[in-house]
Amino acid sequence: MTLPLSAVQTTALASVRIAAFLVIAPPFAQRAVPGTVKAMLAFGLALAVSPRLTPFADATTGAFVGELAAQAVLGAALGFLVYLVFSAVQSAGTFIDLFGGFQLAAAFDPMSLTTGAQFSRLYQMTALVLLVASDGYHVVLSGLVRSFDALPVGMTLDPAALASTLADGLTQMFVSALQIAGPLLVVLFLADVGLGLLTRVAPALNAFALGFPLKILLTVTFAGFAFLALPAVVESLTGRSAQEILGVLP
């Protein structure tokens, strides 16, 4: 069986971009997904998109190695954009842990290689489960596949556009995290204000001794209501992640 060199090179370049994307972007970045599965998925997607790609014309070794590095950087950048979007859910859980007093029980999560407390890990795992159960990862992969139409193999990415999109994505991550956890943070802040006023009125009561159990009760109670909004949040973030992928491309 004889294979044209240009087709093999094009498929290899496409698989490198996809593999770099899968290493960083959720839900594929989890350690629960074996590296063999990521490699097979990258190669399978590369075979699927290779017929619509322009064959890589330059056959020199130096040009091919340089293009491999460029595709790896591009795939990693697109994956990081998706990671930023979905980090809003974990950041919202971190805010809840911080204001609710759960940050004292932070632990290392070997699956995501991050350190977080209860609500941070709960929100992150729930977002990943919803992303898989709702087939939202199909939207993420479709955005990656469409990136080959906007930026075919052999073309370079504009660094200015990438930097601008990354800065905007970082800002949107913090805004989304505050929107998700904002109502509960306001409740916890008002609880602190009420305890402070009670201490000023009756110092002998030592109201701050009740602060930790009261804030834990409020956090667990109201976090349940905020938890019900996560499906709509994940759906919105899934669409935004596909928009971010295409937004950085020319």
- Taking only the tens place, the pLDDT of each residue in 185-234 is 888 888 878 877 877 777 766 766 777 777 788 888 887 777 777 788 78
Instruction: Dump pLDDT digits (tens) for 136-172.
Output: 788 888 888 888 877 777 777 777 777 777 777 778 7
- CA dist 157 and 21 (Å) reads 15
Q: Structure tokens of 58?
A: 């330059």
Residues sharing a CB contact under 8 Å with residue 190, sequence separation 6 or more, in sequence order = none
CB atoms within 10 A of CB 203: 9
Number of structural domains found in the chain: 1
DSSP state of 114: E
The two three-digit tokens of residue 195, written as one number: 């305890």
Q: Determine the average pLDDT of the residues in 174-178.
A: 81
| Tens digit of each residue's pLDDT (9 = 90 or more) over 71-123 | 888 888 888 888 888 888 888 888 888 777 777 666 666 666 666 667 778 88
